[in-house]
Structure 1
Amino acid sequence: MIVQIVPRLPPFTTGVGDYALALARQLRQDFGIATYFVVGDPNWNGATEVEDFPIKRVNERSAKALTSVLAEFSSSTKILLHYVGYGYAPRGCPFWLVDGLRQWQIKESKGTLVTMFHELYAAGYPIWSSGFWTEPVQKYLVARLVSISDRVITNKPEYAKVLHKLCPGKNQQIPILPVFSNVGEPEKILPLADRKQQLVVFGGAGNRLKVYEQSVSALKRVCRELNIQEIIDIGPPLNLLIPEINNIPVVTLGQQSAEKVSAILQNSWVGFFNYPLDFLTRSTIFAAYCAHCVIPVGTSYYAWGKEQDGLEENKHYWLVDRQTEELNLFLGDAIAKNAYKWYQDHNLTTQAKCFANLLEKSLVDVQHK
């Protein structure tokens, strides 16, 4: 058995919670590893179990509350922490979490801590924002976590470089695992030519708002070039009237089950996104498009710089605003297949195996300390 610490779990919409739950399912299915969840948000009011995975919640955000919960498990417990600073503290500085884990670690010398860094710390914020002033503290807490973790994992090569710099000599081998699809991975892929000529805009309200507010011209162009017959909008309601797109019907479905989203993607040509290209390996939306072999189409937009994490524009995704060439089904099919192939190297099955191996190796390392 392992303990997975998460900020929240369903029924709240949470990318990290969905990631942890999908991983728990796969670890149980492939390796017989049971998961006990610990939720780090005292205001979370979900059930005491989800899909037969038991759940405990901290009563308050304090080291004492965390160690009290962890004390209920055996002294050789293996903990998998899903770290995103803002998930555990409003300003991204969860001292209580790091202090609590360190106290547990001192008391339970046979325990194992593996940390998955979904995010690191705030960077590049303007001087008037709290992120600017808390960046050094956030960075300090990340460094502490690296130093106390038996193994660490992350989803971006750039993050791995930062983690090495923050704590030289510790965790020299850092696996890099781009996020997997939270809406499934179909075993059989239908050729694009056999699917409907429809385009999907999928994701949270913020990501979809960017599409309709900033990428309408690009959306119109790809719909025209591929003769798209219908646009499917999937996700939480928007406080926005979706603009007219080439007189194409826009079907707004709201939030849907993973199974329903997967079924729609399996029968679509295009998945449209507005997301920083240097962070695509962290996008569950992009992962879903790749896993379902649709054509990922977006616009050029960077957050930090030009780092691509092994992805190439117009090979693994199509940037409408940077092209003189028109997108056609033949070219789109090649891009969709490249994206699908890239995804298979880190799909859910592969990642579950990696996590299982890391947790097992970490336990061996602890036993030989």
Structure 2
Amino acid sequence: MKIVQIVPRLPPYTDGVGDYSIRLASQLLKGHGIVTQFLVFQPDIEIEPIIEGFAATVIPAHTPKALLSVLPGNIEGIILHYSNYPYIQGKIDAPFWLPTALATAVRQRNIKLIVMFHELPFFKFKKLNFLNPIQSLVSRRLVKVATTVLTDSARFQAILSRWLKQPVTCIPDFSTIGEPDERIPPLSDRSRRIIVFGGSDRSRVYQNHLKALLYSCHALGIEEICDIGKSLNLQPSNFPGVRLVQMGFQPAEAVRQLLLNSLAGFIDYSRFPGDLGKSSVFAAFCAHGLVPICSCYNPSEADGLEMHKHYLVPNPSLKNLSLTQLQTVVNNSSTWYENHNIVQNTKVFASYLSK
């Protein structure tokens, strides 16, 4: 089977959705014999014709004609990875042409269309949080033209199910840096190191939660903070009592090895309450057997995640936990992750493509 995946960007451009789609394409091929060709949405970037073994083409313009002109004739399905902000040009803009183009492709080619909603267009103003009325029109249209609708957030699932008037499948994100090929060592065999990694957004950890990070280190006997990602020019003098190692960008394999030999991972996901299950960084911590520590409580019970059971927060109880109790949290988070690791998530996509 041959399919197309439509994405905002692909490597070397930093993009979580692009990383997700590349991992998905690899597992679709490995596990199901499904071959992906990528169509890249943003027309103002240059990409290699082959990216990690997969053919890739930029959609030359934002029109139905342009998309249909580069859509291969021998495909049996399309996966649209929709995270609305990369698909718009301004706050009052929306790609109304996109659902029109996809509806035409589905009708003319008689092919499957899976729309994976990585985001919904929420507008945030102070403490208000509501759907952008213009951009959500496109999301609603995509729901109607899709043969299958998926999402990675239980919060989005409720909205999409209401729009579709039937249940929508939710699959929390897998680790986009990959998963360990070897035995996951217990905490007792790991270095007293805590990992902070991801895109430039991780700067919020140091700007807003440095005190909580240092407290976590003190409570758990952490000797080293390892920062992985684009350089933030952190000052070691701001990290008393603990060694700061700034690794910069690292290959995925190097990151995986560091994760497997570290005690804990620290993440700030407070900007996305209720959506911890869609964090690929959190997923990576779970996949590699670290103690996940969140900067604060994140109400993600709908995604199956409970504070103190699947992750910890920097409060006084942290220093009273034994290594056995910490290992229980790790085991719980690992079990939660195994239900939607890359193999399990890919099975969901493959099943809808083959129906």
- The normalised TM-score by structure 2 is 0.92
CA distance in 2, matches of 1:279, 1:60: 33
* Corresponding position of 2:158: 161
1:238 maps onto 2:232 in alignment: yes
* Corresponding position of 2:308: 314
Instruction: Please give the root-mean-square deviation of Cα atoms over the aligned residues, in Å.
Output: 2.1
**Preserved contact between residue 296 and residue 313 of structure 2 (Cα < 8 Å):** yes
Please give the secondary structure, in 1, of the residue aligned with 2:73: coil
Please give the secondary structure, in 1, of the residue aligned with 2:242: coil
CA distance in 2, matches of 1:273, 1:159: 22
CA distance in 2, matches of 1:7, 1:178: 20
1:142 maps onto 2:136 in alignment: no
Segments of structure 1 that go 5 or more residues without pairing to the other structure are: 362-369
* Corresponding position of 1:68: 69
* Corresponding position of 1:40: 41
**Preserved contact between residue 121 and residue 138 of structure 1 (Cα < 8 Å):** yes
Please give the secondary structure, in 2, of the residue aligned with 1:145: helix
* Corresponding position of 1:364: none
CA distance in 1, matches of 2:108, 2:125: 38
**Preserved contact between residue 299 and residue 321 of structure 1 (Cα < 8 Å):** no
CA gap of 1:163–1:182, structure 2 versus 1, over 3 A, is same
* Corresponding position of 2:114: 114
CA distance in 2, matches of 1:290, 1:348: 13
**Preserved contact between residue 87 and residue 95 of structure 2 (Cα < 8 Å):** yes
* Corresponding position of 1:279: 275
Q: How does 1:172-251 map to 2 (within 5 A)?
A: 172-187=166-181, 188-206=183-201, 208-238=202-232, 240-241=234-235, 244-251=238-245
**Preserved contact between residue 77 and residue 113 of structure 2 (Cα < 8 Å):** yes
CA distance in 2, matches of 1:77, 1:217: 52
Please give the secondary structure, in 2, of the residue aligned with 1:123: strand
CA distance in 1, matches of 2:318, 2:79: 47
CA drift at 1:269? 0.1
Give the aligned residue type for 1:215: H
* Corresponding position of 2:247: 253
CA gap of 1:178–1:242, structure 2 versus 1, over 3 A, is farther
Q: Could you give the per-residue CA deviations for residues 62-116 of structure 1, whole angstroms, max 9, x where no partner exists?
A: 222111112x323x630011011112113362223222212323332x1211111
- The normalised TM-score by structure 1 is 0.89
CA drift at 1:59? 1.0
Which sits farther off after the overlay, 264-273 or 186-195?
186-195
Greater share of residues in strand: 2
CA drift at 1:307? 5.1
Give the aligned residue type for 2:69: S
* Corresponding position of 2:285: 289
Number of residue pairs matched by the alignment: 349
CA distance in 2, matches of 1:5, 1:11: 16
Please give the secondary structure, in 1, of the residue aligned with 2:269: coil
CA gap of 1:229–1:145, structure 2 versus 1, over 3 A, is same
Give the aligned residue type for 1:84: S
CA distance in 2, matches of 1:153, 1:167: 11
Percent pairwise identity: 38
1:77 maps onto 2:96 in alignment: no
CA gap of 1:215–1:22, structure 2 versus 1, over 3 A, is same
CA distance in 2, matches of 1:242, 1:7: 36
